[in-house]
C-alpha cells in the first residue's frame, strides 16, 4: 500500500474531528508500521530518559491488564510485522519507572517497541478509568493530568464530551459493549504550528497567517477488548505532515476535510485553536481539491 493510500484510509473517514466514527478492523493489524518507525522509537527513548514521569504512569491495579496488553501488542507484531518484531527485540531497554523489576512496567515494554502510544482503560463503578499509559506523543494533554480519571472527566475540556453529555454516555455504552476479538479504529485531526511529536498543553499562539506553513496532525486510535481482564487497550498512532504535503489520497478525503472545517462550531474551533484561521484553511483545501482535479490523481479505493 502506498503512503498516500495508507494515510487516506486513516484520514479519509475522519470528517469532523469530534465524530466518534468507529470502524471494525476486520482482521487488520492494530499497529501501523512505516518508514518513520525507527525515528519514533528513538524519540520515545529520548523522552523517557529526559522526562519519564511525563510519558509513563500507571496505577497498581493495572499490572495484570498491562501484562495482557503487552502480550497482545507483541502477538500483533509477530503476526503482522515479523521483521519489525525481530528488530525491536534486539533493542536495549531502559530501566522501567517505579519498582526496579522489569515486570513492573509491561506496558512500557510494549510501547517502546512500536510507533504508537498505549493506554489502558478499566471498568470502575463510576465509569471507565485510565489506569496506565505510555504516552510519548500527546496532542495537547499530559498523562499526569489524566491518569486515574474516568473517560468523561478526561474529555471534560472537549466541547460536548464532558460529564453528563450525550457523547459521554455514548462512549460509556460503546466501551461496555465492545467485544473480544473485534477491535475497532477511529481517527481525528488537528492543525498544529509545527511537527513536534511531544505536544503537552500549550498556551497556543495565534497560528501563522500563512496556512501553507502549518501542519496537519492525525491521530489513529484503535480499541481492543482484552479477554482475560476485560480492560480496553488503546493504541494511539500519530501522523504529522505539512498541510501542502500531507498525503490526503485524492479529492474525496479533501472534500470531507473541507466540509468538516466548514461545519465546526465556534466552541469546537476555539478548542482546536483555529477560530481565526477557518476561512483561510477552507480556501487552502479548496485550492488543493482544484489541483487534484487538474492532476487527476485520486487514489483508487480511497475514502
Res 101: pLDDT? 44
pLDDT tens for the chain, 303 residues: list them.
445 555 555 665 456 777 777 889 877 899 988 888 889 999 999 999 999 999 999 999 999 999 999 999 999 999 988 877 666 654 445 555 544 444 458 999 999 999 999 999 999 999 999 999 999 999 999 999 999 999 999 999 999 989 989 988 999 999 999 999 999 999 889 999 999 999 988 655 678 889 999 999 999 999 999 999 999 999 999 999 999 988 887 788 888 899 999 999 999 999 999 999 999 999 999 999 998 777 764 444 443
- Containing domain of residue 54, as a range? 16-243
- 287 found inside a domain: no
- 218 found inside a domain: yes
- 254 found inside a domain: no
- 185 found inside a domain: yes
Query: 132 — phi, psi (to 5°)?
Result: -160, 145
- 91 found inside a domain: yes
- 210 found inside a domain: yes
The whole model's pTM is what?
0.88
Res 281: pLDDT? 95
- Say if residues 178 and 221 touch (Cβ distance below 8 Å): no
- 10 found inside a domain: no
**Strand pairing class (127-134; 117-124):** antiparallel
d(CA 244, CA 165) in angstroms, rounded, equals 36
d(CA 303, CA 298) in angstroms, rounded, equals 10
Tally the domains of the chain.
1
- 282 found inside a domain: no
Across the beta sheet with 184-192, what order do the strands follow?
Answer: 23-24, 184-192, 215-225, 232-242, 117-124, 127-134, 56-58
- Say if residues 62 and 120 touch (Cβ distance below 8 Å): yes
- Angular region, 195: left φ>0, alpha ψ -120 to 50, beta rest: alpha
Amino acid at each position: 500500500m502506498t503512503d498516500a493510500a495508507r494515510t487516506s484510509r486513516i484520514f479519509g473517514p475522519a470528517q469532523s474531528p469530534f465524530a466518534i466514527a468507529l470502524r471494525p478492523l476486520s482482521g487488520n493489524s492494530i499497529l501501523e508500521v512505516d518508514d518513520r518507525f525507527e525515528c519514533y522509537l528513538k524519540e520515545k527513548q529520548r523522552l523517557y530518559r529526559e522526562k519519564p514521569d511525563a510519558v509513563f504512569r500507571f496505577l497498581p491495579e493495572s499490572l495484570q491488564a498491562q501484562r495482557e496488553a503487552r502480550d497482545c501488542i507483541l502477538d500483533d507484531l509477530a503476526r503482522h510485522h515479523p521483521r519489525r518484531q525481530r528488530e525491536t527485540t534486539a533493542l536495549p531497554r531502559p530501566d522501567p519507572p517505579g519498582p526496579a523489576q522489569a515486570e513492573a512496567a509491561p506496558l512500557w515494554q510494549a510501547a517502546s517497541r512500536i510507533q504508537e502510544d498505549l493506554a489502558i482503560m478499566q471498568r470502575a463503578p463510576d465509569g471507565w478509568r485510565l489506569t496506565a499509559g505510555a504516552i510519548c506523543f500527546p496532542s495537547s494533554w499530559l498523562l499526569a493530568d489524566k491518569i486515574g480519571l474516568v473517560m468523561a472527566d478526561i474529555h471534560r475540556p472537549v466541547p460536548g464530551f464532558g460529564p453528563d453529555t450525550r457523547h459521554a454516555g455514548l462512549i460509556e455504552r460503546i466501551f461496555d459493549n465492545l467485544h473480544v476479538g473485534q477491535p475497532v479504529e477511529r481517527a481525528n485531526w488537528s492543525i498544529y504550528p509545527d511537527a513536534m511529536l511531544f505536544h503537552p498543553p500549550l498556551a497556543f499562539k495565534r497560528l501563522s497567517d500563512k496556512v501553507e506553513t502549518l501542519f496537519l496532525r492525525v491521530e489513529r486510535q484503535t480499541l481492543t477488548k482484552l479477554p482475560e481482564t476485560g480492560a480496553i487497550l488503546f493504541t494511539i498512532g500519530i501522523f504529522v505532515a505539512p498541510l501542502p504535503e500531507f498525503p490526503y489520497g485524492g479529492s474525496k478525503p479533501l472534500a470531507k476535510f473541507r466540509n468538516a472545517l466548514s461545519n465546526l462550531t465556534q466552541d469546537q474551533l476555539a478548542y482546536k485553536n483555529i477560530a481565526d484561521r477557518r476561512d483561510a484553511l477552507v480556501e487552502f483545501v479548496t485550492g488543493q481539491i482544484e489541483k487534484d482535479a487538474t492532476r487527476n490523481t485520486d487514489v483508487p479505493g480511497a475514502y
